[in-house]
Structures are given as structure tokens and as C-alpha cells.
Structure 1
Amino acid sequence: MKNLGETLKQARANKGVELRDVSDATKIRIDFLAKMEEGDFNFDLPEIYKRGFLRLYAAYLGLDTKAIMADYYASTGGRHSDKESQRAQNAKKQFLGELDEESTSSSPENRYDEEPNSDLPPDGISADDKSKYLKIGAIVACVIAAIILIVAAVSKLTSNPETPTIAQGLEIPECVITIKALTDTSYKLTPESNPNYTYHKGEVRAGDVKTFNVKEALIIQPLPGKIGDLHIERNGQHLDYARLIPHPAPKYRIAMPKQ
């Protein structure tokens, strides 16, 4: 089988990978891979595993698996006897823990000969590993679902149904803000919750008065000017600018009256 081994070795060289890379991808021991590349298939494994490993290695290298297996069968004189098949069945029971071989849809020998549904697929993940990953995924999903239910239950217990909300019809009273320009100046007025919306932005003349009906705190910013150029009233009462909470830039916050 020297020619077969050389074919494997040359294909691996063309792929630019080492035996260690192949072993990591296919889960085949390096010494088995090396023997196959030498054309030596007399290593201590049942025949079914030799054929399975050869098929898996050929598929990983991108070779024609049917042609590779035909070369192998031609070199070994065809398929092995029923005695060899029975040895393979016994070995599989021992190594894979199969308790009822008769319940399988096909014999172990045929399972390795199937084209693409082998116990050792080209991706190198066995059926047992896939089953393990599915079980882990199901456990994780159950844990996440339990956490969501616990959070929902705690939220329901800690909520106060008697607390009024806007959605329950609570009306926030309007506040009347009046701003009078004492000199020619300019300013920008925005709601605190949405700085992209403006109630006013630009110049005003001395004596100009603007009134705003609002339900939330406002942010006023002189442009450039100073806050002392403006006379601010809240619900008809003069609001000294010194009592406003300053912001960087400079900006000032006009708070709503306490309820």
C-alpha cells in the first residue's frame, strides 16, 4: 500500500498542514496517521476502524474517498470475512459502550462505508459529542428560563399597585415659565429630557417677553450673553438666576415647583 500512503502524504503536503493539525481536526492519533502515510495498515486496531480512519483522513484532505477506499480494498484483497466483522462488532461494543448492537439500522462495517453519514464525520465531531452538546444547550436554556421567571416574580412582588402613574391617568400640572430680555441678548431653551428639542434659540431684543407652558425642568443657556441679562419668572414669581443650578458651558436648570 505504499502508493496509497504516498497519496495521503502528498495531499497533506499540498494542504500545508502537519500531522498534529490533522490529529486535532480528525481526532485520529498521530501514530496511526503516520502509519497510514507509510502505507502500513498493520497497526493494532480492528479492520473497521482502520477503514473508518482512512476514509476520514481522505475526506479531510479533500481526496476522492471512493477512489481511496477502492485502492485500499484492492491492496487488501477485498472485504474481510464474517469473522473479522464479528471482531469489529465486539470491539465497538467494548470501546463505544453499545449495549444492544441489534437495535442499530446497519452493521458497524456498513456504517463506516456509508458516504457521508459516518460515526466519524469530516468535521471530526462524533455523534456522542453532538449529543453531549445538545444536552448542555438544553440545560443552559432551562437555567435562563428559570432566571427570567424568578426576575418576573420578584418584580411583581416588589411593585406597588397603589402607586399612581401617568398611564393610570395622573396628570402633571403645567408650569408657566416667563422669560423677559433686559438687554439685547440671546439664549437657548430646551427640555431637560430632550436637548435636541428647543423651545427657543436665538436673539431677543430688550423688553421681549416669551412664555412657555411646560411640565418638566428646562435647561437655559446664554448665547453668548449672561444669565443676568434675563428676567425669569415661574408661575408669576420672580426666579433669581442665582438660585438656578448651574451646568457646565454655562447652562442653568429651571426646576419645576415641588408638588
Structure 2
Amino acid sequence: MQSIGERLEEARKRKGVTIREAAEATKIRGDYLNSFENNNFSIKVPDIYVRGFLRSYCNFLKVNSEKVITDFNANLIGEAKAAKRDHREFFGRMEIQQTPLVNEEAKAAAVIDDAQLSAEEDENEKPGFLEKVDKETAIKVGIVAVIAIMMLLVIVWIFRTLTSGGIDPDQVAQQNQRGLVPAETSAQAQQPSPAAATETIFLISVGDVRVTVTERDSGRVLLDSQPMTAGQRIPVEKVGPVKIDYTAGENLQVEIGGTAYGTGKTGENYSTIP
């Protein structure tokens, strides 16, 4: 099975381009591309940017980017497990080295008192006072926490019911006394919820920058590590607030309602647009 680097190198050679030409076309540093083809992904940038670079390079080479990203994530998990295993083995060796040597001289056999041994085992099996206290305290704290959560949920429900439009508080109180929950009226049940408003903003680049746009409420990625050059203008349709991550804040502007705004930040940072 080919590694990620072998697939990228084979696709580049099949396309007939050099590392330098690929770097100019994708706006990704040539040493990064060379490291990727050598299966070296430790380029001192966050993993989210490594994934963005790999995705852009795969799209340029016409390689299945989803397969490459999946293999990259699996490689990260494998490295984390290996590091954890090495960590345990290191401390295991330390414990072995620090174990004091046992005198190998033969010891005289002692007479074992079966009654005394049984009494000691029974004593060791009895739970200590602190263990009993800890268990009882944990049970009491758990019961109190469950009751507090249930009371909080009831208070929140009552508050929302009283503050919702079209409901009489006195009627709610009478119904609660009878143990009934106010039912939703047919008009309210049939009334459709208003569609969320869609807004279009424009990302304007005044220099080289890489941008990722994510919806804050849904977590949906609207723009995934998109490289931009000076003068480039990209529209983004959003619903609700979004988070914009960028590699060079001084090279990015955001146009909202026909007005362009600077980020007011430099270098790798992020901004939130309501």
C-alpha cells in the first residue's frame, strides 16, 4: 500500500510538474510540499493548516483528498499511541532499575500460624473508616446533585412558559395546580418557524493569506483553509455568526453590507462576524 508521500510524488510526476511549479500554482511553500512527499508532516504549523495544505495539493494533483486526509488522521492517532506506549515503557524501566536487590541468602523456614494468618486476612479485607465515609459522601452528593438539576430544569421550563407570548400567567398557575401542562394551541402548532436569514459577506485579500470560515452555531465549515492572493475577492454565504481564522490578519478585509472592514490584527489570528 502506497504511503501519502508516495501517492503525492507519483501524481506530481505524472502531471509533469516540479516542486517549484506546484508551489507557485498552490501558493504553498515548496519545502512544505517536499516534506509531504517524504511523509514528514511536522512543519511547525497547526494540524488544521496541514490538512488544508494537503487538501489544496491533492486538488491540484487530482488526487482523492478525502482518502489522503483520512490516512493523515490515522497517522496522527498512530503516533500518539506510540508516544504513549514509549512513555509507559520508559517509566517501567525506571521502576525496574530502582527496585532494591533482595538478599539471596537462604532464610530459615518459619512456622506459620494458620489462625493468625486467617485473622490478618479478615482484617485486611474489612473496609477502612475513610472508605466508608467516602462512599457515603459520594452517594449523598450524587443525590443532591440530581435533585438540584431537576429543580433547575423545572425553574427554566416555568420561566420560558411565563415569558412566551400569548399565555396568561394566571391560567398557567391554575393549570399547574391541577397537575396539567398547558397544551400548544392549534394555531401555534401549525405556524411554521421563520426561515433563517442568509447573508453574503465578501473576503478581500490585500496580500497572501489563508482563510477558514466556520459557522459558530452549526459548526459547518463554509471555507476550508482557502489560499488567497492580493486582489482576490471571495463571497461567503452565512447564516448567523461565523468565525474567520486567518494566517495573516493584516492581509485580509471583510466586506459587510458594501463596507470593507480590516481585521485590526496581524499574523495568525481569528475574528468573529455576527
- TM-score > 0.5 by shorter chain: no
- Determine which structure has more spread, i.e. the larger CA radius of gyration: 1
Query: Per the shorter chain, which TM-score range?
Result: 0.3 to 0.5
- Normalised TM-score (structure 2): 0.34
- Normalised TM-score (structure 1): 0.36
Q: Which has the higher helix share?
A: 2
